[in-house]
Structure 1
Amino acid sequence: MKEIVTIQVGGFANFIGSHFWNFQDELLGLAADPYGDPVFKNHSLNMDVLYRSGETQQGTLTYSPRLVSVDFQGSLGSMSSRGSFYNEATSAPPDVVTWTGNVSTHAAEPRRRNLFLQRLNEEEQENSTPVNNISGGRNDPQREIHDEDIVDYLDNGVEYWTDFSKVHYHPQSLYELGGLWMDSQQFDSYGVGRDAFSWDLRGEEISERLRFFVEECDHIQGIQFIVDDSGGFSSVAADFLENIADEYRNTPVLLYAVRDPGSYAIHKSQKQAISKNLHDAISFSRLSSLCKLIVPIGLPSLSRSKASALLCIEDQKPYHCSAVYAAALHSISLPFRMEALGPSADSRNVLGAFDVNSIVQMLSGQGRKNMVAIMDVAMPAPFMIGRQAEQSLLRNLQPLTPEIAEDVEDLQAVESMTIHGAFGTGGHRAPISEVKDMVHAAYENAITRPKFCNLSVALCPLPIPLPFPKIFRSVVGQHGELLGTPVNGSPLRGSLDVHSIPMAGRLRSSSAVLPFLENRLGNLRKFGTQQGAVGAELVRRWGFEKDELEDMGETLSTVVRELDPHLQVSSDSD
């Protein structure tokens, strides 16, 4: 088995991670449900790739994500930083032997569980052992009203990423950064993060948590790293990645640099705008230099994107936006845990298994060195039948990477696509062969075609757990099928109405990412390195010398030239 360790750093990264682990938890629950859909029982996915088995001191068997999460102190809401497997008694206050006066203790009341977490706790109390795969109880008519209350509450009341998490975490998984004495609005730039967090002082504790999960792996295939790079957590992640590069040199890191729409807010002053532009340039330069492949994710507005045709997303709610990005990450990561099939194996459930290193080499080593990939998603994916489907498959893929060019013809482009749970002839799940033929036909008839495209297919759709936002429009059916006539009643549908959906996700190495790179290169030079740059003093306060910035600029220039050798990238001396 080839294990993956997942790292989540920063607020929005943990929102995405919470949805991601809910999807995995739902798969586990549906596979164990004797009355469940057979497609979830024989999904040919090895969940041990992402999860670890363990045992508490009381002898209770556990199954928890192989995860290290880093966030602000106080970001866990009602959840303990020790997770939920170990219900430790509150320790008595220490005796102060050097003080003979009166001692008073001030303790804050623990945050109360919300409706969803209360319900989850009640269900677990009904079982003899902690359950890590609650399917939501949607088929129990006695709980239907309760479910509706929960869905409505979460849609309007989520404050923390733990508010909607249905997963048990290991005590080594959740790390809170204490002592920063600032809120997320102040922790808004690479420089602030660098000043507030010292890896020398606190990094060893975080490293120990990662080491705990890595050292128990038989053969780790890679690290899946999700970072909210819109502010100071980018600096924390860079230090973490630097440490990983030193300790695990042969372990590939697939980095998702994520942002919520709120990070694109218009700045009130020129100083703030300059700081933001320099942060974006320095953050990307540092992070991309410390991983094998970086995937920028996060549009300024999902509600105004192509995805809004089937989804109704409120951009101001991280609970909404993170659900879409988590669904895309789930789809992209499926090949990493597909059961490898030999010549005589049954290939009816999955096709195209590969590991993290394979996708990294595929996208970054095909004729040119490019460590930046674009992510696209079709949610739900269209039917896989007929000529119209051939055209709509590629047309319905919505880029989730910002600032990219559209309809670019790149003869050196390389793509990796994953499709799972697709519908085919007669409204049934399309067999692997049918999906494969349809995708090949779509590319054959496309105006622009990549140099190479890898395809992975699975029959198992994306399960929709109870704590999932009401974002589906009324043309989306119970199993994610696209209806000819909208459903009467509510214009929006959630987990009580839509139980699973077909998905298509794609990673691609393409010159379409050039605008993203050029904007960061241009801002680095304009505000940081050119003669009389207005941001020169700011980056010095962040701890960067001019020669460091010039090295970053040269590295970005090299990536731009690799993507388009005909493009003349001017140097600072021009």
Structure 2
Amino acid sequence: MRCLGWLGIPLQIQCSRIRILTWTCFIVLGIPSYTPRLVSINLRGSLGSMNSHGTLYTEVASTSQDVVTWTGRVSTQASQPFKRNLFLQRLYEEEENSNINEIPGSNNDSRTEYEDKDIIECLENDVQFWTDYSKVHYHPRSLYELDRVWANVDEFNNYGIGRDSFAWAAQGEEISDRLRFFVEECDHIQGFQFIVDDSGGFSAVAAEFLENIVDEYTNIPVLLYAVQGSGSRTNLQSGKRTVSEVLHDSISFSRLSSYCKLIVPVGLPSLSKSKASRFLHIEDAKHFHSSAVYAAALHSISLPFRMVPVGPSADACSISGAVDIHGVVQMLSRQGRQNMVSVLDVAMPAPSLTGGQNDLSLLEILQPLTPQTDDDVEDLLAIEHMTVHGALASEGHRASVSEVKDKVDGAFRCASTRPMFCHLSVALCPLPIPLSFPSIFGNSVGNQGELVGGQTINSSPKGSLEVHSVPMAARLRSSSAVLPLLENKLRNLQRFGIQRGAAGAELLRSWSFGMEELVEMEEMLSKMAAALRPPQLTSDSD
């Protein structure tokens, strides 16, 4: 199962298959129905028990007779539709019961008897599609499946195959119309947020579509998360496969970053072995484990986009630090840094503000979800956007906005290095843990996400039955910490694609890339890296 094999185009604020949603209201059979503002592009056959028209409207089969001109033999291949798992069955039963109970005199006792623990076990072990976890309705224009590319095609794994599989005339215009539909029903668009599977052909589809968006919506900023699943590059079979993958990474990053104001690489080679999962119990082979962590981080960092700006009395309110997508993009691209690359950090769960788990501070426990970052970098020009929500005080109650601000300010004063500027957003609401959330919490995580024990090692995982919510902290950093990632992509492009006798030269020609285009990518990556290098290093390299 691939939980990140898709392209999501969120509108107004953001939404995604990792389910960070804004909503729009439609009337279905006289009943208001809320659906996310979302265009999601998937492989054909990747929706499981859900059809591409969503769940609000029922497709009526056509009764018209087709004109048959073929006189030869005909064979028909058919497969049974996928059944809903226990979680989806429960959702549909609850919805049907709710509708029946609204009728006076009705009595409904048709609910299937199965326990929450059975649903959780089903989600952990028997799920095949991302829709098996989805608990929202989708508008008929939201879900799009690529023609001629099926979900079980393993070869959809590089930029070239994605480029060949996507025809703008046949597919791009239809997707663009779907996007335009949601844009036109918005009162105000903050920006577009893309979440793209960067490990295969979807990066090429995203680049084609982003180019059109940049041309059509000139003044609307694009914030892009380039996501790769844990363990996606651990089983290299040959040198040729290695060359293909590193070139794909370099080409994809260069092309995607040229069409957005801010790009955020997300996805560690092994989330289970990273410091970010210190209090979690992650199985890298289960992609929903890692995507749940990435989803929580994206939800948290985008929370200020959904906040309503408040006045001078913000400290007495439940939120503070509202900012829109344009504000964050402008903030992180200061000092003339254009087409910026940002590091995404997360603390899940965030520690209590005082006392508790080894007196860990919010700054100390934040760990990168962006690969190939430098942990010990000192960047005097660094810019940060941090979100903290649902933080706990030492007594167990939710910390106030002013308490969080004071604690973060104190942590910066005590830190050996501090950014040039940091924007802080605070909210009282924690991250809720619904029934469908995977069992990834260690024994040291309590019912409200408090840290109650030592570090988790090989412990039995907890899920939504034991953990109801967790405090979160997330951060975007415009920092030279991302230099190793940029330099690695630049070095691989030069070594395997541009230098004389490069091992990947023929492969890139098969992907329809000429030398002139490759040199332009090289120059762009070089400029991005140069903008982040400390002044003395830039002078030395010149």
| TM-score of the two chains, using structure 1 as the length reference | 0.86
Residue 201 of structure 1 deviates from its aligned partner by 2.4
Q: Deviations over 1:143-193 (max 9, x none)?
A: 996110000110111211001111101100000012136844201110111
Q: Does residue 96 of structure 1 match 2:91?
A: no
Partners of 1:144 and 1:323 lie apart in 2 by 28
How many residues were matched structurally?
A: 525
Q: Deviations over 1:335-376 (max 9, x none)?
A: 001011123678420000000000000001245335100000
Q: 1:534 to 1:479 in 2, by over 3 A?
A: same
Bigger RCO of structures 1 and 2 (CA < 8 A, at least 6 apart): 1
**Counterpart position of 1:567:** 537
Counterpart of 1:126 in 2: which secondary structure?
A: helix
Partners of 1:249 and 1:492 lie apart in 2 by 47
| Equivalent residue in structure 1 for 2:409, among 440, 465, 475 | 440
- Give the alignment of 1:302-317 within 5 angstroms: 302-317=271-286
Q: Does residue 123 of structure 1 match 2:94?
A: yes
Counterpart of 1:265 in 2: which secondary structure?
A: coil
Q: 1:188 to 1:220 in 2, by over 3 A?
A: same
- Share of identical aligned residues, percent? 60
Q: Which range moves more in the overlay, 209-218 or 342-351?
A: 342-351
Residue 307 of structure 1 deviates from its aligned partner by 2.7
**Counterpart position of 1:113:** 84
Contact 1:12 1:259 in 2 (8 A): no
Contact 2:301 2:474 in 1 (8 A): yes
**Counterpart position of 2:429:** 460
Partners of 1:209 and 1:269 lie apart in 2 by 41
Partners of 1:228 and 1:267 lie apart in 2 by 19
Contact 1:18 1:164 in 2 (8 A): no
Q: Does residue 289 of structure 1 match 2:258?
A: yes
Q: Does residue 318 of structure 1 match 2:290?
A: no
Counterpart of 2:537 in 1: which secondary structure?
A: coil
Contact 1:423 1:429 in 2 (8 A): yes
Partners of 2:199 and 2:57 lie apart in 1 by 34
Residue 80 of structure 1 deviates from its aligned partner by 1.1
Partners of 2:444 and 2:113 lie apart in 1 by 22
Q: Which amino acid aligns with 2:509?
A: R
Q: 1:109 to 1:543 in 2, by over 3 A?
A: same
**Counterpart position of 1:494:** 463
Contact 1:9 1:69 in 2 (8 A): no
Partners of 1:523 and 1:284 lie apart in 2 by 12
Q: 1:525 to 1:568 in 2, by over 3 A?
A: farther
| Equivalent residue in structure 1 for 2:515, among 538, 546, 562 | 546
**Counterpart position of 2:36:** 65
Q: Deviations over 1:252-287 (max 9, x none)?
A: 111000000132223111111111111110000000
Counterpart of 2:156 in 1: which secondary structure?
A: coil
Contact 1:421 1:503 in 2 (8 A): yes
Partners of 1:444 and 1:107 lie apart in 2 by 66
Counterpart of 1:427 in 2: which secondary structure?
A: coil
Partners of 1:376 and 1:264 lie apart in 2 by 22
Q: Deviations over 1:523-571 (max 9, x none)?
A: 1111111122121111111111101111110111111111114335999
Q: Which range moves more in the overlay, 299-308 or 90-99?
A: 90-99
**Counterpart position of 1:264:** 233
**Counterpart position of 2:12:** none
Partners of 2:498 and 2:454 lie apart in 1 by 57
- Give the alignment of 1:478-489 within 5 angstroms: 478-484=447-453
**Counterpart position of 1:254:** 223
Partners of 1:570 and 1:548 lie apart in 2 by 28
Contact 2:357 2:451 in 1 (8 A): no
**Counterpart position of 2:117:** 148
Partners of 2:272 and 2:350 lie apart in 1 by 18
Q: Which range moves more in the overlay, 316-325 or 177-186?
A: 177-186
Contact 1:528 1:535 in 2 (8 A): yes
Partners of 1:475 and 1:182 lie apart in 2 by 38
- Give the alignment of 1:316-355 within 5 angstroms: 316-343=285-312, 347-355=316-324
**Counterpart position of 1:186:** 155
Residue 446 of structure 1 deviates from its aligned partner by 0.7
| Equivalent residue in structure 1 for 2:483, among 488, 508, 514 | 514
Contact 1:303 1:315 in 2 (8 A): yes
Residue 302 of structure 1 deviates from its aligned partner by 0.8
Counterpart of 2:283 in 1: which secondary structure?
A: coil
Q: Deviations over 1:279-298 (max 9, x none)?
A: 11000000000001000000
Q: 1:441 to 1:175 in 2, by over 3 A?
A: same
In structure 2, stretches of 5+ residues that fail to align are: 10-14, 103-110
Q: Which amino acid aligns with 1:62?
A: S
Q: 1:467 to 1:530 in 2, by over 3 A?
A: same
Partners of 1:552 and 1:238 lie apart in 2 by 14
Q: 1:375 to 1:184 in 2, by over 3 A?
A: farther
Residue 394 of structure 1 deviates from its aligned partner by 1.3
Partners of 1:548 and 1:486 lie apart in 2 by 49
Q: 1:570 to 1:66 in 2, by over 3 A?
A: farther
RMSD of aligned alpha carbons: 2.8
Counterpart of 2:231 in 1: which secondary structure?
A: helix
Q: Which amino acid aligns with 2:320?
A: L
Residue 499 of structure 1 deviates from its aligned partner by 0.7
Counterpart of 2:329 in 1: which secondary structure?
A: helix
Partners of 1:443 and 1:387 lie apart in 2 by 20
Counterpart of 1:20 in 2: which secondary structure?
A: coil
Q: Which amino acid aligns with 1:318?
A: H
| Equivalent residue in structure 2 for 1:274, among 212, 235, 243 | 243
Contact 2:228 2:267 in 1 (8 A): yes
- Give the alignment of 1:149-164 within 5 angstroms: 149-164=118-133
Q: 1:381 to 1:553 in 2, by over 3 A?
A: same
Residue 319 of structure 1 deviates from its aligned partner by 1.1
In structure 1, stretches of 5+ residues that fail to align are: 1-7, 25-49, 132-141
Partners of 2:98 and 2:182 lie apart in 1 by 28
Contact 2:442 2:460 in 1 (8 A): yes
| Equivalent residue in structure 1 for 2:5, among 7, 10, 18 | 10
Contact 1:472 1:493 in 2 (8 A): yes
